[in-house]
Amino acid sequence: EAGVAQSPRYKIIEKRQSVAFWCNPISGHATLYWYQQILGQGPKLLIQFQNNGVVDDSQLPKDRFSAERLKGVDSTLKIQPAKLEDSAVYLCASSLAPGHAGNTIYFGEGSWLTVV
Amino acid sequence: GESVGLHLPTLSVQEGDNSIINCAYSNSASDYFIWYKQESGKGPQFIIDIRSNMDKRQGQRVTVLLNKTVKHLSLQIAATQPGDSAVYFCAEKWRGSQGNLIFGKGTKLSVKP
């Protein structure tokens, strides 16, 4: 079974530029998550989708970050304009349903962003 | 949770020994807990999970223990191998939440051959 696919794997941009990350979840997974992981820390949720609807975006910096999952399958996370503190790994994850017991959350390999 | 920046707690064990990684979770109302393994340059990989109505759960070479009284979770790895070297994260789901996982501080496990 194919896992969570993410691209690009690595991106270097200058501050104030924009960047977009793409994610394709595991087939059939209704719930999709974007997490931000700063070096040396655990992942932190940015946004959670259930099908094509937003369930939780309370920790998404909406002045610069946006995300969409228009058809309820793949998703795009955009940062515009980027700041130095956005340097992190952006992890996409998916699960069959909201992550309670029996519905494991599976992570992709991440998209590594460096803002210079 | 508290940020540890680049200074992750570390555990160094000899190959073949048992490893115990500990985690203090934050919310007494959490009803689901997961351990993830993260190798360098990769995303977190599911290891084992446990519901709050259980005290212990075993997998292949791994055991998770849950002590709700002191809000403590541990991961035991039997006969630790070099391939077990990674950062290990515990994560909790708060009861009534939409399924978001709250991750704890990671622990870096180094296995000496």
Distance between CA atoms of residues A82 and B3, nearest Å: 22
**B21: contact with A, CB 8 A cutoff:** no
**What is the spatial distance between Cα A64 and Cα B58, in angstroms, rounded to a whole number?**
43
Q: How many CB pairs under 8 A join A and B?
A: 76
Residue A20: per-residue pLDDT: 98
Nearest CA in chain B to A47: B100
Q: What pLDDT was estimated at residue A2?
A: 81
Nearest partner of B61 among B39, B44, B83, judged by Cα: B83
- Residues in chain B with CB shorter than 8 Å from the CB of A107 are 36, 43-45
Q: Report chain B residues whose CB lies below 8 A from the CB of A91.
A: 43-44
Report the distance separating Cα A17 and Cα A37, nearest Å: 20
Low-confidence spans in chain B with pLDDT less than 50: 1-6
pLDDT in tens, A59-104: 999 999 999 998 989 999 999 999 999 999 999 999 987 756 667 8
CB within 8 A of A104, min separation 6: which ones? A95, B34, B46, B49
> Nearest-CA neighbor of A47 among A37, A58, A39, A63?
A58
What the block records as the tokens of B113 is 């051959």
Q: Are B102 and B94 in contact (CB under 8 A)?
A: yes
Task: Output the pLDDT for position B65.
Answer: 97
Determine the pLDDT at residue A1: 63
What rounded mean pLDDT belongs to chain A?
93
H helix intervals, A22-75: none
d(CA B82, CA A20): 36
Contact A98 B99 (CB under 8 A): yes
pLDDT of residue B95: 79
Closest Cα in chain A, distance from residue B67 (Å) = 18
Residues 6+ apart with CB under 8 A from B42: A109, A110
Q: Where are the beta strands (DSSP E) in B25-100?
A: 30-38, 45-51, 56-58, 62-67, 72-77, 86-94
Q: What is the pLDDT of residues B30-46, one digit of tens each?
A: 889 999 999 999 999 99
Smallest CA–CA distance, residue B80 to chain A, in Å, is 23
